[in-house]
Structures are given as C-alpha cells and as structure tokens.
Chain A
Amino acid sequence: MNRLKILLVKEWRESMRNKMVLFGVILLPVFLVGTSIFMITAAQDGDPIEQIILFNTALMYFLLLPTIIPLAIAVYSIVGEKEQTTLEPLLATPISDTELFLGKAMASVIPALIVNWASFGVFLLLIRVLVGDVPLQLLTAPWLASIFGLSPLLALFSVGVTMIVSSRASDARAAYQFSSFAILPGLVPLIIYSTQKTLVDMRLIALEALLLIIVDVGVLYFAIKLFRREQILTRWK
C-alpha cells in the first residue's frame, strides 16, 4: 500500500468517528435532498413557474454541497492533527510533504464529490418515482455541466481555502468560521442562475470554469507552500 493510500484510509477512519464531520457529510445532503423533494412534490399540482423555481433551487444545492462537504472534512482533518499534536510524529515518518498535502486534500475532495453526485442521483430517482418526469425536462445541459464539471473545481477551491485557514486557526470553530467564505464561489452560479432562471447557457459555465481554474491554481499554490514540513513545525500555531 502506498503512503498516500495509507493516509487516506486513516483520514476516513477518523472522520467516520467524528460527529461534526458526519453531520456535514451525511446529514446535510440528506436534509437538502429531503426538503427539496418535499417542496417539489407539494407544489406538484400548482403553478408551473413555481415548480420551475423550486426545481432550480434544488439543483443549486448540488453546487453548494461540493463546497460545504470538503470544508467539514478538511477542518477536522487539519485542526484535529494540530489539537492532537500528531503532526510531528507523522512528519517524523518517511511520508513526503506532497503525500501529506495530497492525502489531506483528497481525503476531503473525494468523499465530497461522491456524496454530491450520489445525492444528485438519489434526488433524480426520487423525483422520477414521486413526481414523474415533468421537471426533469428542466435538467438542461448547462445544469448537468455545472453539477458534473464545476463541482470538482468548487470542491478544490473549498479544500484549498480550508487548508490555508486551518493551518492558521487555533481551533476547529474558528477554522470553520473563517473557511465558510469558501462557499462563495458556489453561490455565484447560484445567484446568476436564479436571476436568469432557466436561461443558463454553456458560455457562462465555461467562463466560470475558467475563473475557478485560475483561482484554484492560486489557492492550491499557497496551500502547498504552507504544507511543508518546516512550515508546519515552526510556523503553524
């Protein structure tokens, strides 16, 4: 087993035992999917415009989850190591700085995308079963491109910001508060889509993807610089 995989397994094993992390990773998606389904089925025989709005709102959740889930995991995966003073013994092993960084980042991004897309699948399935296929016609190519194409970029942004903030924060609560602005890029498409309603086109999404890639590169660059052995042991608080 390579070291990256060893680290990932450890991260997930620890996360599974952390109530705060489980809340973000499991309860939140269940809650969001649950309420959307409830609203949409309740409005089933009502105003079609209202239905469209409800459906679009539900779709936006799948752009928020990829930012919120990595935040929940990454805060505890980094602040947790600090609080338990495990970073030094960990860094004393032959693990490389890159392996540590990638392990921490992937431990957050991978479950976030899996949970997000799985929730999306469950959502579509429930709509199909409970409502029939009417609102599914609203599921346009730009929406699908956003949910599948932008999610990884949003998750990377969130994890990068959270890793930077967590390396500086003294406790999980503070890290949580300061990291929460990582959700903003997830809200941008949300705002644009909600003002334009269904008129979201691929150009807009391509533009957003491009911007996100640029921002991601910048954020990850700083995060990687912070995740050097020397930095962690001498500069982190």
Chain B
Amino acid sequence: MITARGLTRRFGDLVAVDSLDLHIDKGEVFGFLGPNGAGKTTTVRMLSSLIAPTSGSASIGGTPLGRDNRSIRQRVGVLTETPGLYKRLSAWDNLMFFARLYGINDAEKQAEKYLKMFELWDRRNGLAGSFSKGMRQKLALARALLHEPEILFLDEPTAGLDPEAAKTVRDLIESLKSEERTIFLCTHNLDEADRLCDRIALFKTKLLTVGDPQSLKEKMYGRRTVVHLANPRSGIEDALNLPFITKTEWVNGRLLVSLSDPETENPTLVRRLVELGADVQFVNELRISLEDLYLDLMEGNHESA
C-alpha cells in the first residue's frame, strides 16, 4: 500500500528525513515511533503528497508520488498534528465543508455516521471553537475518515490530550483497524504503538529498525529468563554448563539467563539449578519494555540494529 525508496527531505542544510525505505501492506497498522523533531510529520507530509521529497520516491496505493497527487489526496486521510478546525463553524459545517471538497456523494450520511460513532452527534451544531481538546481531536479524526480513505495517516493522535481523552481516541483508532484500511500512526507514545500496531518502525531522521513489537524486543535482546534464588551463590552460573545458554549475569541478586527457546529450555535449566543445590523461588521471563529498547536505540547503543 505504501512503499518508499530512499525518501529524503532537506530544509536548507538540515536533513529532516534521510533516505527512508519502507514497505507497508494493505490493512496493516504501522507505527512510526520517534522523538520530537525526528521527521515524522515531514514523512507524513511527503507520503500524503503535501510536500515534495528532495530525493527518493514513494508510491501510495500503487500511484507514484508526484504523478497524480490529486488522486493520492483523494484516497488518503490525514489527521494532522493539530486538529485544525474552523472555530466559527459548527462541527457539522466543518465536516460538510471537507466532505464537499472531497466530492463525497452522500456527505450528510457520512458526517452523521462518524459523528454518531465518535459520540459527537448531539453536539453537531456546537461551534468547533467551544469544543474540548478531546472533542476537537475526535472531530478531526471524523473529518479524516469522511471520504473512507484506503490509507489513514495519524500524526500523534493522542499528543496533548488528558489521559481519559487519549484513551478514548486510542480506543477509536483500535476500532478503525480493518482489512481494507491501512493506518500509518506517528507517535512518541510507546504503549500506544505497542498496543495498536502490527509493526513498528523506530525512526530518528533515519530508519533505525522495523519489526512487530514482540520480535523487535527479541531482536534487540534475545529472550531471557530471570531466576530468583533464596540462596544466590556466585559461581553457580559457571557450573550450569548447559549448551543452549548464551549468556548469564547477576543483577540485584537475580540470575539472568539468556537463551533462545525458554519454552523448552527452562525446565532443563530449573532441574539443573536444583541439582546444584539452588533454592529456586521464582522463574520469570524478562520483559523488556519497548521503552527500554527505544531509549537504547535513540542513544545509539545499538548502531547495528
């Protein structure tokens, strides 16, 4: 659905996006994760044919960027970084204006559908300027969906919302997942990406890594088992002498064992520990939050990843 090759955008001397290569399938929810200034908005603007890349190419739903941008714009929906609503117009008039620009036949029906879905129907005649932040964001999301775009770009949809409003918006996005709709979600919220996305790209000017949330974590750290012992004793790790163990280390009196297949290897590991006289209290899988991974990558600790 979305393919980018060497997509690059400069602003004067500053390189905002540096040779981005991407391939996103139809129906996929793709998380684009990066800190402020990473170039997320610039990427969205290029992919939605709002600004031209300095070099490189991309194709959106099979249409190369720059060939027929009007038809690309007709087929993508963009939730911009700020909701961008006409304060002096009602929610209804805001939606109708955009619905007509997109040339939607049943504009009224579409507006009604999304206003109801987003629980704004009762407030349709209220001025957008009088809406709370959360309501504005929902209205902006409704606007992005009116013309039933195949591809939806969401630029930090929950940034600046209070936790409750953020949750509402996140739930709405989750409900938008469908076979037919490809979603490109920019965020710097890791939980959001973890929860909503099929695949996640970590991005800071350059693409750092791409993968599904789980395999990203594994790719970075392998899988590890944490063993709590009642009688931690150093030296025991060397005595284990099991071929599948790639690495062991002690952290806060707990033994961290790196291995590749904990489901089959953990029972052997525990049996061996007991044989060696260890009093095993707990055995857990070490969960690496996406946050750890992200911070590590951003600090450049994993150049190769």
- A interface residues, Cβ below 8 angstroms from B: 1, 3, 6-7, 10, 13-14, 17-18, 84-96, 229-230, 233-234
Contacts and interface: CB of A to CB of B under 8 A. Distances in A.
Interface string B70-93: 110110111011111111110001
Contacts of B86: 10, 14, 84, 86
- Size category of the binding interface on chain B: 20 to 34
Contacts of B81: 88
Contacts of A96: 70
B160 interface: no
A233 B102 contact: no
B137 to A, nearest CB: 13
B263 to A, nearest CB: 47
A234 B102 CA distance: 24
B87 A84 contact: yes
Contacts of A84: 84-87
What 4 pairs between A and B have smallest CB-CB spacing?
A: A17-B88, A93-B101, A85-B82, A92-B78
Contacts of B82: 85, 88
B270 interface: no
B50 to A, nearest CB: 6
B88 A88 contact: no
Contact of A14 (B11, B73, B84, B89): B89
A18 B84 contact: no
Given A84-B86, A92-B80, A10 B51 contact: no
Contacts of A18: 88
Given A17-B88, A94-B102, A229-B51, A89 B93 contact: no
Contacts of A13: 89, 93
29 contacts: A10-B86, A10-B97, A13-B89, A13-B93, A14-B86, A14-B88, A17-B88, A17-B89, A18-B88, A85-B80, A85-B82, A85-B84, A86-B84, A86-B86, A88-B50, A88-B78, A88-B84, A89-B80, A89-B84, A89-B98, A89-B144, A92-B48, A92-B77, A92-B78, A94-B70, A94-B74, A230-B51, A233-B50, A234-B51
